[in-house]
Amino acid sequence: MTEHTLKVAGVAVDTRHWIGGERVASAGTFTDVSPIDGTVLGEIARGGPAEAAAAVAAAKSAFPGWAATPRAERARLLHAIADGVEKRIEELAIVETTDNGALLRSHRRGVMPRVAHNFRFFADWSLKLDHEDFETRGHTNHVSWDPAGPSVLITPWNAPLMLSTWKVAPALAAGNTVVLKPAEWTPLTASLLADIAAEAGLPAGVLNVVQGYGAEIGDALTSHPDVRRISFTGSVPTARRIAASAAPHLTPVSLELGGKSPLLVFADADLDLAVDLAVEQYDNAGQVCLAATRILVEGSVAEEFTRRFVDKTTRLQQGDPRDEATDIGPNIHPRQLEKIDGFVQRALTAGARAVIGGHPKDGQYYAPTLLTDVAQDSEIVQEEVFGPVLTLQTFADEDEAVRLANGTRFGLAATVATGDPERAERVSAQLVAGTVWINCFFVRDLQAPFGGSRHSGVGREGGTWSFDFYCDLKNTVTAPKGWKDHG
């Protein structure tokens, strides 16, 4: 063990940046704290403009060689990274849970296997990326995806490693080099990813990981003239700052932002299924951008729906996320907990009623909350809370349901519960959302486009859409004659 190494649940984690294939310390540090019990995990290297410049320089230097590497070899290395992830699933799971407070059982069974799948999927997709040639007046058009260049990837704290690799994997598969900046509240698994990538044989400088605050290192990364792509998942205010920072160099950005998604429950729905879908919105202590936090229920079944919802919610176990029996863990940070409670208390003051919850618990835990008697134009209905707080409104018919569902500035996702397939088709066609789930929730396929409408984002990633973003698309037009005889 060295002064730059932490032991987190028995796992060694290097606290320094990973730049150009080497560990790099900073003069300053920031403190990483576990949301589970407030334990200080350690001091993390706190980067700034110098580290940003060094990381981009390393990515720029490594880019020509990586871009020229055949797709098949890039894919082989991504599969090797996936192998490394799978060998360390238990370590990654316990470190991530300790760092961000999400359920250990979820990390073990779903999240970390998905991390490996991210690498395997985009590695394989890159090999079949193709567009059939087509003719124009006898000329042949050939479409190709050329690597764009160094890419800055800025990721959130609610699903740190999964959302990081959702960006890292396609960027690398496309032939880009990467500078990854994880959220300062959850930096640890990004450091482990750097180790895994190096052990897999990824060339130095192809993946760089830098840590620190957005205002100190993030701005230096997004404004750098040598950066050719920026992908960000997080809040609308930060996205505005990133877009402004990228604008002088016309650096393309992909932004996956907040949500205030609706769950529409019609009277003809399977009510038990609808209740299950609603209770599922408390997953990860409500810290899910896709969460359907606005429950819209047809008036004739609202009372019965609410009764069943309350009955099911009160059986949820809230506590230490390392316990297999726990259903809801802590919120990420005291500042976030204060923000959540501020939303709730202002709503209660304005006349909302807490059917359940409505208050914090010990430590960084917030009671699962359902608020009714809320106006459509109220803050609690219009703004993203990002905690275990749902609202319930009623509607009389399809038109009102759609109007309420579309009545925010967001458009990330929507969920519809109905027993009528024709209604499902009608309603989903009218909803403003990047993803619509019908009688299900959180079913994600990496080949599908993912992103938001309105203030929920710019662009789509997933499948070929990821390569469309991380590459410069080129069309090569060849004349049918003009060749010299080389025989």
**What Cα–Cα distance (Å) separates residue 203 from each residue in 52, 84, 90, 147, 168?**
19, 16, 26, 16, 15
Our answer to whether residue 471 is catalytic in this structure is: no
Our answer to whether residue 324 is catalytic in this structure is: no
- Six token digits for residue 334: 């005291």
- Six token digits for residue 343: 């939303």
**What Cα–Cα distance (Å) separates residue 361 from each residue in 50, 220, 334?**
42, 39, 12
Q: Of these residues, 256, 298, 384, 461, which one is catalytic?
A: 256
Q: Are strands 253-256 and 229-233 parallel, antiparallel or unpaired?
A: parallel
Q: Give me the residues paired with residue 147 across strands.
A: 471
457 phi and psi angles, rounded to 5 deg: 150, 175
CA dist., res. 13 & res. 1, Å (int): 10
Burial (Cβ within 10 Å: 0-12, 13-18, ≥19) of residue 20: middle
CA dist., res. 36 & res. 97, Å (int): 9
CA dist., res. 122 & res. 90, Å (int): 23
> Helix, strand or coil for residue 358?
coil
**What Cα–Cα distance (Å) separates residue 152 from each residue in 145, 320, 463?**
19, 34, 20
Q: Of these residues, 51, 96, 184, 289, which one is catalytic?
A: 289
Answer whether 329's CB lies under 8 Å from 321's CB.
yes
Annotated catalytic residues are 256, 289
